[in-house]
Every structure is written in C-alpha cells, then in structure tokens.
Amino acid sequence: MKTGFVVHKADVSNRVFMPSKKGLYFSDVKNDTANVMINTVDSIKNKYTVKEYANARKARSIQDIIGRPATKDYIEYVEKGLIPNCPIIKQDIIRAEDILGPNLGSLKGKTTFKTPGRVTINTLDDLPDGMLEEHGNVTLTVDIMYIDKIPFIVTLSRAIRFGTIKMIKDERKSTIIKSLEQVINAYHGRGFKI
C-alpha cells in the first residue's frame, strides 16, 4: 500500500503527493478538478493586431540591442527621444511586456536576493494521527555521498521515508558519529525510536 501526504494550501484546497517507484513524491495534476490557467504567447498575442504584435517584437528586439535596460528606463529613453530614429512608441514596449513577459536579460543580475523565511520544525503534536503507533520504531539507512569531492552523510528512514543530508568536514569516525547523533536526536525529539 502506497502512502503519501497532503499539503493544505492557504486557499483551503489540498494537494495530495504520492511516492513514485523510486521514492520521490509527486502530485498528479492530470485528473485535478481545479482549473489551471496558463497564458501562452499565442493566446495573449491574439488580442492584438498583426501590426501591434510586430511592433511589440520590434520593441523587444531593440531593447536587447541597446543592452537590455529595465522596462521603466527603456520607456523613458523612447519618450525622451534618446534613441535616434526609434520606430517604436511606449505602447509597443508595454505590449511586448504583456505578450512576451519581462525581458529575462534585463532581469538577470538586477534582481536582489531575498532571505527565505525561517524554517520551522514541526512539533510532536503536528505528526499525523497514528504515525507513532504504526511507525514508532524507525530503521535508518545511512550512506556517504560526494558532490564535487565534498562528503555528505545521507540518511533515510525505511518506513516513513524521511531523509536527511548533512555536509561533513571529513570522514573520521568521530565526525560521522556526531552527525548521526544529531539525526537520531531529531527523531527522538519527535518520539520515534531508532
């Protein structure tokens, strides 16, 4: 029997994730009853005339040629006549954004990194009903994996399929034991026995 998990979304809908044959979890959206709206270039360009679409493509091409300035700056250049013999107007630039989306070349290197939100660890009360009774005794599988010659200790629990990965500075016995103790303490903190 395959068991999965349910993600409760903020809009009160749920998304079910089931394990694949290789153990990765996925959500099957083929039979999803929710409406999925995807805007494609073809569907958006149909609301414009052929000339408007051609001018939007020309506006994007010029934006790429002049060094991919931000859209706001690009509009300012066009409105102030800073681009000699420019065949486009502000509306062409706005249409290009609508049809083709933001110019990825102008976004690269200009977007700022935002610190992700703090990860909160679920408490014992957040475990699904019956989890400790059914899977209270956990068997861990452990291995060392290398990425660019950097060692990581990888654990996976057999029944509940919870995995952890931790970079280790070396492969000495004491380092490995310390990493494993941290994983075991995390399980013990939730009431599981290794």
DSSP per position, 51-103: HHHHHHHHHHHHHHHTT---HHHHHHHHHTT-STT----HHHHHHHHHHH-S-
pLDDT of residue 125: 57
The answer, yes or no, to whether residue 27 has pLDDT greater than 60, is yes
Q: Which span out of 14-23, 78-87, 119-128 was modeled with the highest average pLDDT?
A: 78-87
CB 166 within 8 A of CB 177: no
**Strands of 140-147's sheet, edge to edge?**
140-147, 150-157, 163-167
Average pLDDT in the 139-167 region?
A: 90
pLDDT band at residue 127 using 50, 70 and 90 as cut-offs: confident
pLDDT of residue 2: 64
Distance CA 79, CA 91 (A): 11
Predicted TM-score of the model (pTM)? 0.41
CB 93 within 8 A of CB 46: no
- Tally of CA atoms within 13 A in the half-sphere of 179 that contains its CB: 21
3-state helix, strand, coil in the chain (%, to 5): 35, 20, 45
